[in-house]
Amino acid sequence: MFSFSRMITSVSAALALASVSSVLAVPVPNQLASRAVSIPSPAFVVYTDRFVSADVLPAVDQIKGFNVVALSFLTLKGALDQAGAFAALAPDVRAAKKAEYAQAGVNIIVSAFGETDKPTTQGADPVATAATFSQFVITNALDGIDVDYEDLDAMNKGDGAAETWVSTFTTTLRQTLPQGQFILSHAPLAPWLAPNAQFAAGAYVTINKNVGALIDFYNIQFYNQNLYGDCAGLITTAGAPFTGSALLEIPKNGFDLNKLVIGKPGGASDATNGFIDPATLGTCIDQAHAAGWKGGVMAFQFPNANADWIRAAKGSSFQ
């Protein structure tokens, strides 16, 4: 996801190896024993990566209608952009903002990796990385974490290394961020949720089989593939080369329909392609809802995706 999004078939230059200090699995602190979080269902998720203000997050009325805000991004090199800015706030300021959002029923989570991180290709240890990232969530009193794994080179290899890495990372996260106490979402590219020869080891079809029970919901990136540009392609029948990856086709591949959150750019500038204006998107949402889906909507990113955006994008189904 992301500022410089690219199609899934593109090939990027290898990045320099980014090391993550070896960290033993972190035990769940006693003070978290009574912690509980209500997993939003449907989930209405907005990412924030661009600078907003010195307060980092906007006043909560500017995102009314969303129930999850994802600070972007926590990377192998550390917390960057909005994730880094939030962590850098004075503790009392951070706590006040968290309380403001909690009172409005909005969870604050951090989004991991993003487009520029290649954890498997870079040789990052999934156990140590999960321990480090879990500690970031706890230290900053966040409600959970979103896994935006976009190591296309590793996934396209088809040797199973990407699927194993993500599965191990997810399992390790849950050791410190238990279900019912912390949100754990993933943000896969839509083509990864259907069988395809390009992803010989199964991509998220395999990951879902391995650890889907540990994942609360999927913020699916239905953009940047020259597909999913209208209701038919988004909801009912995806075109080539990623057939089988429209919303209502994905459950045939082993996914829980109501864990599937439709992700779209907040504005045309937030993705390379796949933008649908929110009013039109609302008609797509109504079609999906009529077919039995109730998963929710994700937007990348604020400020293009704001209270007005989500009000329109919800259609008549979630008002």
Residue whose entry in the numeric block shows the structure tokens 């080179």: 153
CB-facing half-sphere around the CA of 192: CA atoms within 13 A: 32
| Interacting residues of 231 by C-beta distance below 8 A, sequence separation 6+ | 280, 283, 284, 287
pLDDT at 185: 99
In a domain, 189, yes or no: yes
In a domain, 285, yes or no: yes
pTM: 0.91
Length of the chain counted residue by residue: 319
pLDDT at 21: 31
In a domain, 153, yes or no: yes
What is the spatial distance between Cα 209 and Cα 196, in angstroms, rounded to a whole number? 16
In a domain, 202, yes or no: yes
Residue type, 213: A
Give the pLDDT mean for 204-213.
Answer: 99
In a domain, 12, yes or no: no
| Interacting residues of 232 by C-beta distance below 8 A, sequence separation 6+ | none
In a domain, 10, yes or no: no
For residue 129, give both structure tokens: 């990385």
Domain with residue 192: its CATH number is: 3.20.20.80
pLDDT at 14: 27
* Domains of the chain: total: 1
Give the pLDDT mean for 50-68.
Answer: 96
In a domain, 229, yes or no: yes
Give the pLDDT mean for 14-37.
Answer: 44
Q: What is the extent of the structural domain holding 77? A: 40-313
Asked if residue 265 has pLDDT above 50, the reply is yes
pLDDT band at 34 (very low <50, low <70, confident <90, very high): low
In a domain, 175, yes or no: yes
Q: Which of 30-39, 108-117, 204-213, 268-277 has the lowest mean pLDDT?
A: 30-39
